């Protein structure tokens, strides 16, 4: 008998992980249905780029498809290839468009390229001249100065009687640059520009609004909306209450230690304790996407003295103290009764008690980056949707 045979079998990997992530697929499905409701007469797509905002394309894509989504947006073609297995009857739009050498990938997986430049448009004309009619979408820049044909060029294309008859976009779209700020005057300016586009491409479906734009009202909905961050529990509009939390990230406490008033904490000794304290050292750091800028001190970007992030355990908010390091973060748990916290327990990093966007703001960023920066070390658990 090997000595290893005497050891107990490992527990469930999630229960013993150093860092772990729970993804509530029921909340994801409910959030999509809510955004579909808010989209009024428009259909609601689902944006699943960047591995479904870091939460897993396979599980999230399947859940959204089963919830009723039939239009999806990905960033690159390979994401669309992966998604096709889980959304067999969906239209899948690829926002980065198509380039030479990708034709087979698009055709075999029934992906719809979103053409966003004169170069892509010219290439696509050659593709359809050789292979015949195939659906595409056309992105128009209405003031973002990112991807998209300039407005004047798009209007000229619509009126160009010499364009191939086989050029048949199934969707024209644009993107609001300040949709998360409802009072921004640019929203109405972009809306007016896009209305010119939809009039020029009469009879072709149109889409302007991602998550934030949906909240601007019916005028911004057109035929298809493109909710993204709102589906995953992030704030779509600055300062507005998000929908249901989908992701809960937790770090395991490796040690609880006593420290005296006047002692310092973590690299650079940037935090000095103002009282006798109990410190919980959690197994999470910037290698796990828990950003160094979430540190409780020693961050030049927060020279104004504002606090860093908080965690949550045993009903209490607990602040990060000192600098976040690659694999470890220190929380001040002095105010948590000793009998309610032990080594091996988990501190919530963000989730239902500490919102994703609160943590993001503490780190000087946004919820999008927090989710898409999740590292490879998280053990994941998916809570299945009921239907």
Residues annotated as catalytic (active site), given as ranges? 49, 267
User: If DSSP codes are grouped into helix, strand and coil, which group holds residue 352?
Assistant: coil
CA atoms within 13 A on the CB side of 271: 26
Q: Is 326 annotated as a binding residue?
A: yes
Helices vs. strands in the chain: H and E counts, helices first: 12, 20
Residue bearing tokens 């690159």: 76
User: If DSSP codes are grouped into helix, strand and coil, which group holds residue 323?
Assistant: coil
d(CA 115, CA 123): 10
Residue bearing tokens 């327990």: 345
d(CA 387, CA 384): 9
DSSP state of 226: B
Instruction: Give the H/E segment covering residue 196.
Output: helix 185-200
Q: Is 104 annotated as a binding residue?
A: no
Residue bearing tokens 């057109």: 222
d(CA 374, CA 286): 9
Q: Burial level of 211, CB count in 10 A (0-12/13-18/19+)?
A: buried
- What are the E-state strand segments in 85-163? 91-94, 111-115, 136-141, 149-150
d(CA 108, CA 103): 9
- Collect contacts of 158-161 with beta carbons under 8 A, ≥24 apart: 158/197, 158/200, 158/201, 159/200
DSSP state of 241: P
The gap from C-alpha 314 to its chain's centroid, in whole angstroms, comes to: 28
- Closest by CA to 171, choosing from 247, 276, 31, 71, is 71
Binding site feature residues: 146, 326
Binding site feature residues for substrate: 146, 326
């Amino acid at each position: 008998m090997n000595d290893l045979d005497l050891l107990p079998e490992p527990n469930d990997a999630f229960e013993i992980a150093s860092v772990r992530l729970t993804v509530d697929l029921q909340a994801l499905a409910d959030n999509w249905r809510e955004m579909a409701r808010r989209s009024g007469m428009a259909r609601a797509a689902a944006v699943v780029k960047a591995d479904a905002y870091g939460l897993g394309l396979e599980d999230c894509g399947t859940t959204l498809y089963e919830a009723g989504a039939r239009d999806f947006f990905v960033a690159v073609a390979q994401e669309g290839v992966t998604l096709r297995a889980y959304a067999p009857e969906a239209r899948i739009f690829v926002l980065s468009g198509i380039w030479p050498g990708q034709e087979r990938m698009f055709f075999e997986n029934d992906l719809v390229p979103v053409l966003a430049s004169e170069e892509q448009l010219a290439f696509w004309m050659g593709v359809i001249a050789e292979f015949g009619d195939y659906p595409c979408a056309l992105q128009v820049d209405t003031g973002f100065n990112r991807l998209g044909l300039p407005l004047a060029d798009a209007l000229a294309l619509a009126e160009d009687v010499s364009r191939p008859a086989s050029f048949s976009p199934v969707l024209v779209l644009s993107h609001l640059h300040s949709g998360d700020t409802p009072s921004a005057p640019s929203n109405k300016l972009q809306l007016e520009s896009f209305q010119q586009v939809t009039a020029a491409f009469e009879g072709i479906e149109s889409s302007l609004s991602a998550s934030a734009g949906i909240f601007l009202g019916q005028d911004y909905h057109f035929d298809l909306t493109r909710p993204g961050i709102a589906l995953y529990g992030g704030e779509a509009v600055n300062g507005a209450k998000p929908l249901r939390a989908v992701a809960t990230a937790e770090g395991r406490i490796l040690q609880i230690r006593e420290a005296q008033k006047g002692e310092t904490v973590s690299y650079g000794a940037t935090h000095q304790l103002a009282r006798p304290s109990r410190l919980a050292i959690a197994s999470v750091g910037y290698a796990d996407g828990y950003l160094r800028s979430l540190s409780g001190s020693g961050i030049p970007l927060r020279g104004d003295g504002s606090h860093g992030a908080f965690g949550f355990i045993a009903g209490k908010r607990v602040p990060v103290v000192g600098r976040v390091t690659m694999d470890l973060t220190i929380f001040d748990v002095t105010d948590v009764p000793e009998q309610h916290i032990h080594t091996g327990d988990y501190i919530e990093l963000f989730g239902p008690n500490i919102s994703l966007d609160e943590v993001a703001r503490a780190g000087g960023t946004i919820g999008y980056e927090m989710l898409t920066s999740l590292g490879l070390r998280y053990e994941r658990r998916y809570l299945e949707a009921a239907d």
